[in-house]
Structure 1
Protein backbone atom coordinates (compact mmCIF):
# COMPACT_ATOMS: atom_id res chain seq x y z
CA UNK A 1 0.00 0.00 0.00
CA UNK A 2 1.14 3.51 -0.80
CA UNK A 3 0.10 6.91 0.45
CA UNK A 4 -0.26 9.38 -2.43
CA UNK A 5 -0.32 13.18 -2.40
CA UNK A 6 -0.82 15.38 -5.43
CA UNK A 7 0.22 18.92 -6.21
CA UNK A 8 -0.84 21.18 -9.04
CA UNK A 9 2.50 22.93 -9.51
CA UNK A 10 6.13 22.71 -8.46
CA UNK A 11 5.83 25.21 -5.60
CA UNK A 12 2.94 23.28 -4.03
CA UNK A 13 4.84 20.02 -4.58
CA UNK A 14 7.91 21.38 -2.75
CA UNK A 15 5.77 22.46 0.22
CA UNK A 16 4.14 19.01 0.38
CA UNK A 17 7.54 17.31 0.14
CA UNK A 18 8.81 19.37 3.09
CA UNK A 19 5.65 18.66 5.11
CA UNK A 20 5.37 14.93 4.35
CA UNK A 21 8.94 13.75 3.62
CA UNK A 22 7.98 11.06 1.08
CA UNK A 23 10.30 8.22 0.14
CA UNK A 24 9.62 8.80 -3.57
CA UNK A 25 8.19 11.59 -5.72
CA UNK A 26 7.03 11.54 -9.33
CA UNK A 27 7.42 14.95 -10.96
CA UNK A 28 6.09 16.04 -14.33
CA UNK A 29 8.80 18.02 -16.08
CA UNK A 30 6.18 20.49 -17.36
CA UNK A 31 4.72 21.73 -14.05
CA UNK A 32 3.82 25.42 -13.75
CA UNK A 33 5.57 27.83 -11.33
CA UNK A 34 8.51 25.41 -10.85
CA UNK A 35 9.17 22.70 -13.41
CA UNK A 36 10.15 19.13 -12.56
CA UNK A 37 13.82 19.60 -13.48
CA UNK A 38 14.21 22.57 -11.14
CA UNK A 39 12.36 20.87 -8.28
CA UNK A 40 14.32 17.65 -8.76
CA UNK A 41 17.60 19.52 -8.43
CA UNK A 42 16.36 21.43 -5.37
CA UNK A 43 15.42 18.14 -3.70
CA UNK A 44 18.72 16.45 -4.58
CA UNK A 45 20.82 19.45 -3.51
CA UNK A 46 19.11 19.79 -0.11
CA UNK A 47 20.84 17.64 2.54
CA UNK A 48 17.52 17.05 4.33
CA UNK A 49 15.76 15.71 1.22
CA UNK A 50 18.47 14.34 -1.10
CA UNK A 51 17.62 10.76 -0.13
CA UNK A 52 14.15 11.04 -1.68
CA UNK A 53 13.88 9.04 -4.89
CA UNK A 54 12.88 11.36 -7.75
CA UNK A 55 11.21 10.03 -10.88
CA UNK A 56 10.60 12.47 -13.73
CA UNK A 57 7.58 12.07 -15.98
CA UNK A 58 8.45 13.21 -19.50
CA UNK A 59 7.39 12.86 -23.11
CA UNK A 60 11.05 12.55 -24.17
CA UNK A 61 12.18 9.76 -21.81
CA UNK A 62 13.09 7.46 -24.70
CA UNK A 63 15.55 10.05 -25.99
CA UNK A 64 17.21 10.58 -22.61
CA UNK A 65 20.50 8.62 -22.53
CA UNK A 66 20.73 8.48 -18.72
CA UNK A 67 19.12 9.95 -15.62
CA UNK A 68 21.62 12.80 -15.34
CA UNK A 69 20.68 14.29 -18.73
CA UNK A 70 17.76 16.41 -19.81
CA UNK A 71 16.77 18.04 -23.06
CA UNK A 72 15.75 21.22 -21.24
CA UNK A 73 18.44 23.74 -22.16
CA UNK A 74 20.97 20.89 -22.23
CA UNK A 75 21.10 20.92 -18.42
CA UNK A 76 21.84 17.97 -16.19
CA UNK A 77 19.39 16.61 -13.66
CA UNK A 78 19.83 14.38 -10.65
CA UNK A 79 16.69 12.28 -11.22
CA UNK A 80 16.79 8.65 -10.19
CA UNK A 81 14.59 7.50 -13.08
CA UNK A 82 12.33 8.63 -15.91
CA UNK A 83 8.81 7.52 -16.87
CA UNK A 84 7.74 8.16 -20.46
CA UNK A 85 4.42 9.69 -21.46
CA UNK A 86 1.91 8.29 -22.11
CA UNK A 87 2.19 6.49 -18.79
CA UNK A 88 2.31 2.70 -18.71
CA UNK A 89 0.93 1.99 -15.22
CA UNK A 90 2.69 -1.37 -15.01
CA UNK A 91 6.03 0.29 -15.79
CA UNK A 92 5.31 3.05 -13.27
CA UNK A 93 4.52 0.52 -10.54
CA UNK A 94 7.68 -1.42 -11.41
CA UNK A 95 9.77 1.73 -10.97
CA UNK A 96 8.04 2.57 -7.68
CA UNK A 97 8.52 -0.96 -6.33
CA UNK A 98 12.17 -1.09 -7.48
CA UNK A 99 12.94 2.16 -5.66
CA UNK A 100 11.10 1.62 -2.37
Structure 2
Protein backbone atom coordinates (compact mmCIF):
# COMPACT_ATOMS: atom_id res chain seq x y z
CA UNK A 1 0.00 0.00 0.00
CA UNK A 2 1.23 3.49 -0.77
CA UNK A 3 1.85 5.26 2.55
CA UNK A 4 2.92 8.59 1.03
CA UNK A 5 -0.65 9.84 0.66
CA UNK A 6 -1.86 12.14 3.44
CA UNK A 7 -4.56 10.85 5.76
CA UNK A 8 -6.72 13.05 7.94
CA UNK A 9 -6.80 12.58 11.68
CA UNK A 10 -9.22 9.78 12.52
CA UNK A 11 -9.90 9.05 8.84
CA UNK A 12 -10.24 5.33 8.09
CA UNK A 13 -8.27 3.79 5.24
CA UNK A 14 -10.56 2.86 2.39
CA UNK A 15 -10.78 -0.62 0.92
CA UNK A 16 -11.15 -1.48 -2.74
CA UNK A 17 -10.12 0.76 -5.63
CA UNK A 18 -9.84 4.01 -3.71
CA UNK A 19 -7.61 6.98 -4.49
CA UNK A 20 -5.53 6.03 -1.44
CA UNK A 21 -4.25 2.89 -3.17
CA UNK A 22 -1.67 2.54 -5.90
CA UNK A 23 -2.92 1.01 -9.17
CA UNK A 24 -0.54 -1.46 -10.81
CA UNK A 25 -1.53 -2.90 -14.19
CA UNK A 26 -0.19 -6.44 -14.59
CA UNK A 27 -0.10 -8.73 -17.59
CA UNK A 28 1.48 -12.01 -18.66
CA UNK A 29 2.32 -12.82 -22.28
CA UNK A 30 2.05 -16.15 -24.08
CA UNK A 31 5.62 -17.03 -23.04
CA UNK A 32 4.74 -16.39 -19.35
CA UNK A 33 6.81 -13.20 -19.21
CA UNK A 34 5.32 -10.77 -16.66
CA UNK A 35 4.68 -7.10 -17.41
CA UNK A 36 3.75 -4.62 -14.69
CA UNK A 37 3.47 -0.84 -14.72
CA UNK A 38 2.28 1.66 -12.11
CA UNK A 39 -0.64 3.61 -13.52
CA UNK A 40 -1.57 6.10 -10.82
CA UNK A 41 -3.85 5.87 -7.81
CA UNK A 42 -7.37 4.51 -7.61
CA UNK A 43 -9.51 2.88 -10.24
CA UNK A 44 -7.82 2.87 -13.67
CA UNK A 45 -9.25 4.87 -16.55
CA UNK A 46 -9.26 3.81 -20.19
CA UNK A 47 -6.55 6.38 -20.89
CA UNK A 48 -4.29 5.06 -18.12
CA UNK A 49 -4.77 1.46 -19.32
CA UNK A 50 -3.97 2.55 -22.90
CA UNK A 51 -0.80 4.24 -21.65
CA UNK A 52 0.16 1.11 -19.70
CA UNK A 53 -0.61 -1.60 -22.29
CA UNK A 54 -0.77 0.22 -25.63
CA UNK A 55 1.79 -1.32 -27.97
CA UNK A 56 2.17 -4.44 -25.82
CA UNK A 57 -0.87 -6.28 -27.19
CA UNK A 58 -0.50 -7.94 -30.60
CA UNK A 59 -3.28 -7.82 -33.19
CA UNK A 60 -5.59 -10.80 -32.73
CA UNK A 61 -4.18 -11.64 -29.28
CA UNK A 62 -6.47 -13.16 -26.66
CA UNK A 63 -6.77 -10.80 -23.67
CA UNK A 64 -8.17 -12.39 -20.52
CA UNK A 65 -9.31 -9.82 -17.97
CA UNK A 66 -11.71 -9.27 -15.05
CA UNK A 67 -14.47 -7.24 -16.74
CA UNK A 68 -12.97 -3.83 -16.01
CA UNK A 69 -14.58 -1.34 -18.41
CA UNK A 70 -11.29 0.52 -18.86
CA UNK A 71 -9.80 -2.52 -20.63
CA UNK A 72 -12.20 -2.39 -23.57
CA UNK A 73 -10.50 0.60 -25.24
CA UNK A 74 -7.01 -0.92 -25.45
CA UNK A 75 -8.43 -4.29 -26.53
CA UNK A 76 -10.43 -2.63 -29.31
CA UNK A 77 -7.44 -0.49 -30.39
CA UNK A 78 -5.21 -3.57 -30.64
CA UNK A 79 -7.76 -5.62 -32.58
CA UNK A 80 -7.52 -8.27 -29.87
CA UNK A 81 -10.04 -10.87 -28.74
CA UNK A 82 -11.54 -10.36 -25.28
CA UNK A 83 -12.35 -13.06 -22.71
CA UNK A 84 -13.51 -11.81 -19.33
CA UNK A 85 -14.24 -13.35 -15.97
CA UNK A 86 -15.80 -11.75 -12.88
CA UNK A 87 -13.50 -10.73 -10.03
CA UNK A 88 -13.63 -13.17 -7.11
CA UNK A 89 -16.39 -12.25 -4.69
CA UNK A 90 -18.22 -10.03 -7.21
CA UNK A 91 -21.24 -11.50 -9.06
TM class, shorter-chain normalised? 0.3 to 0.5
Question: Scaled by the length of structure 1, what TM-score is found?
Answer: 0.32
**Bigger strand share:** 2
**Bigger helix share:** 1
RCO greater where, 1 or 2, for CA within 8 Å and sep 6 or more? 1
Question: Scaled by the length of structure 2, what TM-score is found?
Answer: 0.34
